[in-house]
Each structure stands twice: as structure tokens, then as C-alpha cells.
């Protein structure tokens, strides 16, 4: 088996390879991303409409704003830059976590599990700022768990993340009560507490506390009560995300086995049973031959698993805290995990979790590429208003990627000229949309899509 350092390098390489590929094929335009792109181009500036998520929105949009200011008018390239920013933000923090954990097989396995179980299974909706807060908090937890002393370098990193946590995503409402005590515990447990590093650690904790209260205020008095209520209802719908469920089953298999028979973690038995779920995940793209719309890998189902994914991130942070604490080391399960054989096997399983989700993600990205090509051909080949029902978008498999309210916005982004068509929302659609394309639609000036 490769060393933890080699696995760290391979994992970081995989992360960035996927981020660059997904940026190249403009996956950031999926669902809300097309509406974001329209607003950014219309105003030629950052688009941030929701204060609790403002910092993540601004940071992710830096590449596309730089492109605008450099005079790029090709919406194809601007969409790539938007996608790059959206994918790069969480990828940077996961890379930091991997680098910090590279000398500890158990911590590295936990970070890889977070990437495979949560990031790779919920990030098709990359415009969602939850991707960033999960990565940021995992990075904080790894730094805190692995620190044997307080340093100003760690402190600067943690304080910067704490500032971002003020306004990144409302998940801080349940992540803060875990990560803040963990930070303060590390400060308390270190024998030497230099003033500057200690203050920087405290600054990180303060940022998460501030983020907690900002998120709480917007949850109590939301900008859209219907949206809040809908988001709450979808929490229990994580089962619709087949990729997430299969990896969750693999994780639960080993976790339950470890609780019941910790000594078995140094043997192959628990991991062989977990591998059954991973094999099913690798083979899952083959479900398309049955033309099933319910159990095949489904891009839109990644969004509904985001909150349960946050729950898994919280559980992993607690696990890292227990693993790093003196009290935790007296537990049988932690003693077993710290055995070299068990650590290597856990690391191997976590690495395989990341790899096993790649075939289904590649399938979903391939369907996105075909969908975008069909959308472009539809908009470029017709003029005026195009009824949605008369387009290939209303047929399988393209309909599985359609979000009705963003269809006109995506049409604007994909137009090659002012004569290019605008696809309308379905006739029965009555929900909110950014503009009424039947009556009028905004013009994006000199910005057009060029292949």
C-alpha cells in the first residue's frame, strides 16, 4: 500500500484534476449558476444577494470578475471562470486539510472520507455555499486535532477561516457548537500559550460564534419563508442521492463494526463487507440500461443530501476530537484505530471511497456536457421565443438536468447573438423567476457565447 504522503499527493491531484475539468465544461452553470452568471454580466460586478453567504459568494466570483475587468466578452470563457472559482474555493480548503493530515493515517482517512462521502456526492450543485463551509470546518478540525503547540502560522490560517465563517453558510448553526469548543480545548491543553497564536485561535472561535448568531437571525427571520420551509423538508430526502447513500452504508458498516468489535479493525473483515457497497457504487452508472429515473445517479438529488452531508461532517469532526484527546485514547475503539494495521486499512478504505464515486460522477458530468451541447444547439438554431415543450430539453435524459426557473437565464448565457432564441419556462410553470421572458428579457450587451 502507498504511504500516507503518496496517498495525500494522489488525492490532492485528483481533487484539482476534477476541479479543472468541471470548470472547463462549465458545470458551475448547473441550476442557480446560470442565474448567477446572468446577474454578474448584467452588472459587471459581484452578485451577492444573501448576507449570511456573502463572503463565499464574493470569493468564488473573483475569477469571473477578473475576467470581466480584463475585457473578456466570451460567455463561454466567463462561465469557465465562474465554475473555476466555485470549485476552487472548497478544493483549496480540502487540500489544506489533506496536507495537514498527511503524516497521520487516521486523520488523513477522515479527510478522504469527508471528500468522498460528502464533497464528491453533493458538489454537482457547486454553486451551493455549503460546499465551502464543510471544507473550511474540516480544515480547522484537522489543524486543531494535529497541533502539538500553538503557532502563529496555524493561528493566521484559523483566524482567516473564522472570518470567512461569519458569512459563508447557515450550517455554522450546528457546526459552531462543535468546532468552537474544540478550538478552545486545544488552546487550553497546550502547555505554552503564546499571546499572538492564542489570540488568533480565539479569533477563529469568535468568527464561528459570530457566524452562528448571523445564521440564527436569518433562519428565524428568513428572506423567503417558503424557501426555508422547503429546505427543512428536503433534509429527510437524502435517500434520493444514491451515491451518498451507498457511501454512507460503507461508512456505517465499518463504524458499527468498530464499536462492536474494535480489535477487528486490524483485520480485513469489516472492510471486505464495506467494499460491497463500494462495488455497487462503481457499477451504478450501468443502471441507465434499465431506463430508471429513480435509482440511477441523479445530479439534482445531490442538493437534497447537503444537510445530511453536513451531519456527516459534524460526526467526523467529533471523531477527530475524540481521536486527538487524552480521554479518547483510553477508549478501546481509539486504541484499536491507533494500531498501524488498522490505520493503514482505514486509509485504504477512505481512498477507495473517493475512487468509487468517480465513475458515477464522470457519468453525470458526461450527461451535463451533452445537455449543455443540446441547449446551445437549440438556442443557436432558432430565433425568438422557443416553447420549452418543443425542445429536446423536455426529453430524457436532458430533462433530468433542467431546473425550470433558470431556463431563460441559461438561454441568455448561451446565446451567440441577439438573434439567438430564448427558451421559455414550461407552460404550467407558475413559480418565481428572475424575469418574465414572454414580456421582455434583459440584454447582456457585448457578451455572447462563443464555441
Cα 91 to Cα 368: distance, rounded to the nearest angstrom = 21
Please give the pLDDT value at position 315. Answer: 97
Question: What is the residue-averaged pLDDT of the chain?
Answer: 93
Asked whether residue 43 is domain-assigned, the answer is yes
Please give the pLDDT value at position 440. Answer: 74
Cα 64 to Cα 45: distance, rounded to the nearest angstrom = 9
Asked whether residue 403 is domain-assigned, the answer is no
| Cβ-count burial 265-288 (b if 16+ within 10 Å, e if not) | bbeeebbeebbebbeebbebbebe
Please give the pLDDT value at position 343. Answer: 95
Residues 357-400 pLDDT 10s: 999 999 999 999 999 999 999 999 999 899 999 999 999 889 99
pLDDT at 429 over 90: no
Which range has the worst mean pLDDT, 52-66, 125-139, 163-177, 218-232?
218-232
Please give the pLDDT value at position 290. Answer: 65
Q: How confident is the model at residue 438 (pLDDT cuts 50, 70, 90)?
A: low
Asked whether residue 415 is domain-assigned, the answer is no
Handedness of CA 182, 183, 186, 191 (dihedral sign): negative
Asked whether residue 405 is domain-assigned, the answer is no
CA 243, 249, 255 angle in degrees (round to 5)? 135
Please give the pLDDT value at position 165. Answer: 97
Query: 3-state DSSP: the chain helix, strand, coil percent, rounded to 5?
Result: 75, 0, 25
Asked whether residue 114 is domain-assigned, the answer is yes
Q: Identify the three-state secondary structure at position 344.
A: helix
Q: Are 297 and 242 in contact (CB under 8 A)?
A: yes
Asked whether residue 409 is domain-assigned, the answer is no
Residues 292-313 pLDDT 10s: 555 678 888 898 999 999 999 9
Please give the pLDDT value at position 235. Answer: 80
pLDDT at 24 over 80: yes
191/16: higher pLDDT: 16
Asked whether residue 445 is domain-assigned, the answer is no
- What does the pLDDT average to over 42-65? 95
Our count of domains for the chain comes to 1
Length of the chain: 451
Cα 84 to Cα 234: distance, rounded to the nearest angstrom = 28
- What does the pLDDT average to over 31-45? 94
DSSP state of 298: -
| Cβ-count burial 329-368 (b if 16+ within 10 Å, e if not) | eeeebbebbbeeebbbbbbbbbbbbbbbbebbbebbbebb
Please give the pLDDT value at position 297. Answer: 85
DSSP state of 168: S
Please give the pLDDT value at position 50. Answer: 87
| Cβ-count burial 148-187 (b if 16+ within 10 Å, e if not) | eebbeebbebbbebbbbbbbbbbbbbebbebbbebbeebb
Number of H helices, E strands in the chain: 19, 2
Residues 211-266 pLDDT 10s: 999 999 988 887 766 667 777 777 888 888 999 999 999 999 999 999 999 999 99
Number of neighbours of residue 188 by Cβ within 10 angstroms: 10
Enclosing domain of residue 147: 4-358
Asked whether residue 383 is domain-assigned, the answer is no
Query: Grid cell 484527546 — which residue?
Result: 325
Amino acid at each position: 500500500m502507498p504511504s500516507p504522503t503518496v496517498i495525500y499527493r494522489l488525492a490532492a491531484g485528483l481533487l484539482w484534476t476534477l476541479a479543472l475539468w468541471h470548470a472547463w465544461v462549465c458545470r458551475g452553470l448547473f441550476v442557480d449558476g446560470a442565474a448567477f452568471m446572468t446577474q454578474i454580466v448584467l452588472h459587471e460586478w459581484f452578485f451577492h444577494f444573501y448576507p449570511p453567504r456573502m463572503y463565499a459568494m464574493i470569493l468564488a466570483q473573483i475569477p469571473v470578475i477578473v475576467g470581466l475587468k480584463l475585457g473578456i466578452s466570451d460567455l463561454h470563457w466567463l462561465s469557465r471562470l465562474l465554475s473555476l472559482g466555485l470549485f476552487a474555493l472548497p478544493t483549496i480548503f480540502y487540500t489544506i486539510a489533506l496536507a495537514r493530515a498527511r503524516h497521520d493515517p487516521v486523520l488523513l482517512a477522515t479527510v478522504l472520507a469527508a471528500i468522498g462521502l460528502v464533497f464528491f456526492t453533493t458538489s454537482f450543485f457547486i454553486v451551493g455555499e455549503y460546499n465551502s463551509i464543510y471544507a473550511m470546518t474540516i480544515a480547522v478540525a484537522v489543524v486543531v486535532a494535529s497541533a502539538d503547540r500553538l503557532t502563529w502560522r496555524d493561528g493566521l490560517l484559523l483566524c482567516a477561516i473564522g472570518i470567512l465563517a461569519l458569512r459563508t453558510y447557515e450550517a455554522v448553526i450546528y457546526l459552531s457548537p462543535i468546532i468552537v469548543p474544540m478550538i478552545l480545548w486545544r488552546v487550553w491543553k497546550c502547555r505554552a500559550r503564546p499571546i499572538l497564536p492564542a489570540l488568533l485561535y480565539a479569533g477563529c472561535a469568535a468568527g464561528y460564534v459570530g457566524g452562528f448568531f448571523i445564521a440564527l437571525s436569518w433562519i428565524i427571520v428568513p428572506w423567503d419563508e417558503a424557501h426555508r420551509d422547503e429546505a427543512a423538508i428536503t433534509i429527510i430526502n437524502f435517500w434520493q442521492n444514491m451515491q451518498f447513500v451507498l457511501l454512507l452504508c460503507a461508512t456505517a458498516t465499518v463504524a458499527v463494526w468498530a464499536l462492536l468489535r474494535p480489535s477487528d479493525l486490524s483485520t480485513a473483515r469489516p472492510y471486505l463487507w464495506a467494499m460491497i457497497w463500494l462495488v455497487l457504487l462503481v457499477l451504478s452508472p450501468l443502471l441507465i440500461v434499465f431506463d430508471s429515473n429513480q435509482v440511477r445517479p441523479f445530479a439534482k438529488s445531490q442538493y437534497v443530501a447537503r444537510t445530511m452531508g453536513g451531519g456527516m461532517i459534524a460526526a467526523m469532526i467529533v471523531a477527530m476530537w475524540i481521536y486527538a484527546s487524552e480521554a479518547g485514547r483510553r477508549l478501546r475503539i481509539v486504541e484499536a484505530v491507533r494500531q498501524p494495521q488498522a490505520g493503514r486499512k482505514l486509509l485504504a478504505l477512505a481512498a477507495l471511497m473517493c475512487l468509487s464515486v468517480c465513475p458515477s460522477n464522470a457519468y453525470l458530468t458526461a450527461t451535463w456536457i451533452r445537455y449543455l451541447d443540446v441547449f446551445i444547439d437549440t438556442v443557436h438554431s432558432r430565433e425568438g421565443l422557443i416553447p420549452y415543450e418543443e425542445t429536446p430539453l423536455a426529453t430524457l435524459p436532458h430533462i433530468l438536468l433542467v431546473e425550470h426557473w433558470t431556463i431563460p437565464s441559461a438561454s441568455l448565457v448561451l446565446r451567440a447573438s441577439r438573434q439567438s432564441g430564448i427558451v421559455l419556462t414550461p407552460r404550467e410553470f407558475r413559480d418565481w423567476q428572475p424575469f418574465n421572458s414572454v414580456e421582455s428579457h434583459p440584454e447582456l450587451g457585448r457578451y455572447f457565447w462563443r464555441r
